[in-house]
Amino acid sequence: MLERNEAVILVEAGNTDWKAAVCEPNAEVVAQFRGAEITALSAWLRGREERVIVLATVGAEQEALSLIGEMQDAGFEVYRVQTSEIDGFQHSYENISHLGVDRWLTMVALKHLAKPVVIIDVGTAITVDWMDAHGVHKGGWIAPGFWLMQDALVRRSARLRVQDSVPNEVMGTSTESCIANGCAAALDGLCQRAIEYADTIFGIDGYELYLTGGGVRHLNREILPPHQIRPHLVLEGLAVWTREHLPR
């Protein structure tokens, strides 16, 4: 059982990377580990003094189960967080278990604001979720992210490669730059449409816009209304869950 004011390690297993942070009582959540290799995460965890881990996984199911078993054997107390009912948030799904834990946690992180929010999470996929001032999830979108869109076009070509960044020129001058620019434009168009819809349901200037995920750098943020970048919103949601659910 947690002692009051005891720090907890938060772990997020995304589609490509693992992230971890230490959750101090009433402190800002800042990622302290990020990497693709579970062995590196395991080594980092073993070097920590904290003995409680709160974990959420989007992919890498077998690796997650392996990590949980390994950490429990090493003396850690491990809690795995999955999408579920939680005070202050009302989902829109017929079956809440079908709502991805990453999307759920971004909304859990912001449910206390008591104002409408739009959350755009840009990673392997780009997701948009609308939540009203009462914590009611109005619904969302899921589409391929920058890398995934490019991959669909170049996968069968030996000559073409996926680009990691958006070219400086608006119009491409090679097949690869044309693909990268086209995919970036698709992301920007999706974001603009999401804002237009938010203006319709919440009113212009009637909501707050939050951007999260490693792919935010692929967006043309100049075309977006005022917004906040919260790169670790999933970990922030884990921190909220921890404070509300773990015995202290």
Which residues are the active-site residues?
102
CB-based contact 35:11 (threshold 8 Å) = no
Q: Which residues pair with 77 in a beta bridge?
A: 52
Look up residue 3 and give its DSSP letter: P
CB-based contact 63:38 (threshold 8 Å) = yes
Look up residue 2 and give its DSSP letter: P
Helix or strand run (H / E) with residue 53: strand 52-57
Q: How many residues does the chain have?
A: 248
Q: Which residues pair with 209 in a beta bridge?
A: 118
Q: Which residues pair with 228 in a beta bridge?
A: 210
Query: Distance between CA atoms of 41 and 35, rounded to whole angstroms?
Result: 7
Strands 31-35 and 18-23, bridge-based pairing:
antiparallel
Half-sphere exposure of residue 111: CA atoms within 13 angstroms, side-chain side: 25
Question: Residues near 205 by Cβ (< 8 Å), separated by ≥ 6?
Answer: 225
